[in-house]
Structure 1
């Protein structure tokens, strides 16, 4: 596959020479698209087409990697695949090809290219077809550059399409400084995130399957698998069974009797993305939230939606999409009803939940929680292609809400599933979010994320001063071990008047040890205190900046962070991580806007100067 550019240029495709107005890559895309079109028309795959597909087919071991982060010839090959398939689908649809033929064509190509197994290809294609065709039918301007410019935004597959360029209005007045005295009392906050409960999990099942998610009923067809799913979960691309979810929640309740607030930062649904259904997702959401209510009783829980909750996965429709088969309203309605009926949220939050899955409330005077649905920025949310500009008006709402909080002298916690600097968050959304944080960092005392499953944090530096750390977003990790991680949750100790986080406890268990004694409950333990682990007197911006600078200079503390990042899981820590590898984690910490690597580059200069 990695020789695809040379193959397409010098093999079966002859690229025009002097004076041609078309690049080798675009010529390859056009040729491959035409081959697909002729194949559909005549039912015959030419030898040229067969050769191209054979050369493009990816090795099986690459099926689970993040294609958005490839570089060099690998990225070029995926760019050609993306643009060719997209162009073919659009052309087939606009020339009246029956839906069933389009679907089968894409399934066949998906399988021949070894992108996934046939059942996975079929399931994903069938689930996503209605949305994809609606977008193609209702915007005649959309082309392959728009699609691949979103999916492969970090690969420079195409120059950033203009449809993704927009901005919001941010108050330009100087920040209104708020002075609050620390209290002698503390607030105890529990963060739970990324359960990924799998109703099909089968202890003893196949943990070495060919699908994206293993350990599920029906995958062990021969009974000859050598990797058997553990009772309490499994490292090998598996989620968790119900008894593991219940044990985790029971342990939290038993171990921590005085929890004041609970933040649930998304992702109840499993990773079986090719065979989800609205009914199945509904059943899992109700089951998990009911269990949280049963276990934690009257303790207030503030939940948000994860990218796995909708069906199909990742798709959050604009609020003016009324077709019930396409709309996300069913999910928003379900969550609003559950969360409000439990008494977790007031009725006043319903309107914005139904509009876009976000809300705000003030649990007590001087304190505001803002729960956002930043899954709309995910590059796999196809609706971004159709309506990219501030989906559901959420970021403008966030800015307006923060301005009011500033005027009301409120401290703010923001809950969001995806870290804003994640490479899969659409560049413009990510940039505008960071602009908002830059303006209101003085009242935002903490942010809380999930999604990555890692034990990590991200820091925001002033857009005009790379040395001035102004805000921090803490990541809760995950209950699921997917993939190659130990399960965990976090306890935050915050000042009850300023709402500043003063320390963090990370609780986890060793999955390997737990599975050796399936008849016993896992042995949860307090892995570390953030202050003690990183030898800090406090978690102020100044202290956090100091340890990041030390990490950039090669301090041994970076190795400690690397170990905690993977939650002490042996499968990851057994891999070699040299100095450049370790330094990449510093970049990850300081990158909070997916379109801006300036902070990363700055800290590289710190490292190179030592």
Structure 2
């Protein structure tokens, strides 16, 4: 999940200025030059000129815009962001390369962040200080990096600049015809539990401030504001809050008590909370150990297959290449921790350690004919600054994925892929996303399901053949979230899977009404089976043909689109109270069919279907 805090991280590399209110300010080249000169003069003299003060006054944003995903703006608004991103980034790179002390650069960004009302001073200071070591390393160790590389990554959907060549690469994909594997359905099923996006907040304070002006609320120490009537609920809160420990334990206990016949558990990432400005390696370690220990304690010998989420490293989102050996910068501490925990619990075999330590990914075969591939696709996240430094297939993971699938095909194995971020998410770097989709296209016949998290929504994505837009070839299911962040009810999912083909036959979505739960804090939340996927959408099965018909009907404005929309937000009142007209509803169909972040062809195809109905 990214929203505002992902954008806030742009501060550390430059995109810190946004046009005011209506955003009608013309970000011309002369304005950019003027702005760069004013910043430089301010840094040199310590004095803000009247012109600089006026610019800051014009560009300061209203508080209500702080949680908007600025990268998704378009038109003149997007153009303004892009131009300012380039000017600020160039300024910071110039300051560093001309010998300006790091502390001065940090203080400059923190002051601008605060004066522009991007966040409170504490949040600005925390994010900037956490990210500075990585940013400085990248600038110092690649003299070719410029503002076009940075802004071309961060604003890739807005065509901020022509796509920099450093982000263009490809992997080798076996060109032979797919080996057809015929497996007959079994009369037996597996029951797979998916848990995702817990976001446990050790600072959560029931009765605390749920209306704070920071990225995450309901935390101890946020009550100084006074007079706020939004109080954090006992079990969690809709208002940009994560969950307390007792909510995590209740959810896990309910899963165990309600589903005693679970065969496998997929945990698809994100244990750590959204307090991204005050994380630490020690704090993240403590939360990870606490949560995984509790899972082991509750589920006992039931095998759990976990993956890493984008919130697990410190700073958030940053996954260093394996050849970065500096302990302050490396992600090895996290990979070592997770490998030790997961292998020592007996969840994973020792053979997975090598690739976990290399990049947080692994593969195993729980039983003959079935393979699980767990990837760390957080490396594709545009807020992973290491992409600027080493963008080409980080740690060779996608080539490893292709090689692993090729061997699985040879061995007649059916495959489930676990990945945190949906491949079509707009914040997944375009080239990585494109190459991943090419892999899916080649091996879709053995990949019987994909499982994602990250978005917190109850949704799914369908993959169409790259050469035949009418042919649905694969599906990725999203597990939703335990956290209510933001404005969502907590949930988890149960998958009914054929024991021989490993095809998903049905899905149960379990959840509880957070508002009702908080009205009776002395009682456990009332979890209930919200719906069966087959029954909810009137499907005979979850085959490619059935899912294709469902999506096409949705594109033609079938009533099931409104049903899907309500389920997408897990029936949470704060979201469903918002108006969503026909055009708004159809955007969710585009979201379903977009599986490569830089390719809108599938979405355009379904828009045509709707226009011809």
Same fold (TM over 0.5): yes
Q: Which residue, out of 441, 446, 451, partners 1:443?
A: 446
Q: 1:36 to 1:390 in 2, by over 3 A?
A: same
CA contact (8 A) 1:8 1:52 kept: no
Pairwise CA distance, 1:5? 7.9
**Any idea what the Cα deviations from partners look like across 1:271-291, whole Å, max 9, x if unmatched?**
000000000000000000000
**Alpha-carbon distance in structure 2 between the residues aligned to 1:29 and 1:305:** 40
CA contact (8 A) 2:372 2:415 kept: yes
**Alpha-carbon distance in structure 2 between the residues aligned to 1:31 and 1:363:** 62
Pairwise CA distance, 1:74? 1.7
Which residue number corresponds to residue 501 of structure 2? 498
SS at match of 2:442: helix
Q: Which residue, out of 215, 226, 231, partners 1:228?
A: 231
RMSD: 1.0
**Alpha-carbon distance in structure 2 between the residues aligned to 1:52 and 1:277:** 35
Pairwise CA distance, 1:59? 1.6
SS at match of 1:79: helix
Which residue number corresponds to residue 127 of structure 2? 124
**Any idea what the Cα deviations from partners look like across 1:254-277, whole Å, max 9, x if unmatched?**
000000000000000000000000
**Alpha-carbon distance in structure 1 between the residues aligned to 2:203 and 2:372:** 35
Q: Which moved more, 1:269-278 or 1:33-42?
A: 33-42
Unpaired stretches in structure 2, ≥5 consecutive residues: 1-18
Map 1:132-531 onto structure 2 (within 5 A). 132-531=135-534
CA contact (8 A) 1:195 1:269 kept: yes
Q: Given the two structures, how large is their TM-score scaled by the length of structure 1?
A: 0.96
CA contact (8 A) 2:26 2:80 kept: no
**Alpha-carbon distance in structure 2 between the residues aligned to 1:137 and 1:424:** 26
Which residue number corresponds to residue 14 of structure 2? none
CA contact (8 A) 1:263 1:301 kept: yes
Pairwise CA distance, 1:223? 4.2
**Alpha-carbon distance in structure 2 between the residues aligned to 1:554 and 1:349:** 46
CA contact (8 A) 1:234 1:511 kept: yes
Q: Which residue, out of 62, 72, 77, partners 1:69?
A: 72
Q: Which residue, out of 601, 604, 607, partners 1:601?
A: 604
CA contact (8 A) 1:379 1:426 kept: yes
CA contact (8 A) 2:20 2:60 kept: no
**Any idea what the Cα deviations from partners look like across 1:22-48, whole Å, max 9, x if unmatched?**
xx3x33323211211111011111222
Pairwise CA distance, 1:72? 1.4
**Alpha-carbon distance in structure 2 between the residues aligned to 1:171 and 1:46:** 61
**Alpha-carbon distance in structure 1 between the residues aligned to 2:87 and 2:362:** 40
**Alpha-carbon distance in structure 2 between the residues aligned to 1:308 and 1:7:** 35
Q: Which residue, out of 58, 81, 85, partners 1:82?
A: 85
Q: Which moved more, 1:39-48 or 1:157-166?
A: 39-48
Q: Which residue, out of 584, 588, 610, partners 2:587?
A: 584
CA contact (8 A) 1:306 1:417 kept: yes
SS at match of 1:221: helix
Q: Given the two structures, how large is their TM-score scaled by the length of structure 2?
A: 0.96
Pairwise CA distance, 1:65? 1.1
**Alpha-carbon distance in structure 2 between the residues aligned to 1:48 and 1:464:** 55
**Any idea what the Cα deviations from partners look like across 1:542-569, whole Å, max 9, x if unmatched?**
0000010000000000000000000000
Pairwise CA distance, 1:81? 2.7
**Alpha-carbon distance in structure 1 between the residues aligned to 2:132 and 2:545:** 50
SS at match of 2:224: coil
Pairwise CA distance, 1:4? 8.9
Q: Which residue, out of 516, 530, 544, partners 1:541?
A: 544
Q: 1:3 to 1:487 in 2, by over 3 A?
A: closer
**Alpha-carbon distance in structure 2 between the residues aligned to 1:28 and 1:144:** 16
**Any idea what the Cα deviations from partners look like across 1:358-405, whole Å, max 9, x if unmatched?**
000000000000000000000000000000000010000000000000
**Alpha-carbon distance in structure 2 between the residues aligned to 1:603 and 1:447:** 22
Pairwise CA distance, 1:249? 0.1
CA contact (8 A) 1:2 1:74 kept: no
CA contact (8 A) 1:198 1:240 kept: yes
Q: 1:487 to 1:30 in 2, by over 3 A?
A: same
Q: Which moved more, 1:140-149 or 1:79-88?
A: 79-88
**Any idea what the Cα deviations from partners look like across 1:434-463, whole Å, max 9, x if unmatched?**
000000000000000000000000000000
Q: Which residue, out of 557, 562, 565, partners 2:560?
A: 557
**Alpha-carbon distance in structure 2 between the residues aligned to 1:114 and 1:247:** 38
Pairwise CA distance, 1:78? 1.5
Pairwise CA distance, 1:156? 1.1
**Alpha-carbon distance in structure 2 between the residues aligned to 1:59 and 1:601:** 34
Pairwise CA distance, 1:581? 0.3
1:108 aligns with 2:111: yes
**Alpha-carbon distance in structure 2 between the residues aligned to 1:83 and 1:518:** 50
SS at match of 1:171: coil
**Any idea what the Cα deviations from partners look like across 1:336-379, whole Å, max 9, x if unmatched?**
00000000000000000000000000000000000000000000
CA contact (8 A) 2:449 2:477 kept: yes
CA contact (8 A) 1:559 1:582 kept: yes
**Any idea what the Cα deviations from partners look like across 1:383-430, whole Å, max 9, x if unmatched?**
000000000100000000000000000000000000000000000000
Which residue number corresponds to residue 56 of structure 1? 59
Which residue number corresponds to residue 21 of structure 1? none
**Alpha-carbon distance in structure 2 between the residues aligned to 1:28 and 1:458:** 42
**Alpha-carbon distance in structure 2 between the residues aligned to 1:31 and 1:432:** 41
Q: 1:192 to 1:294 in 2, by over 3 A?
A: same
CA contact (8 A) 2:24 2:76 kept: no
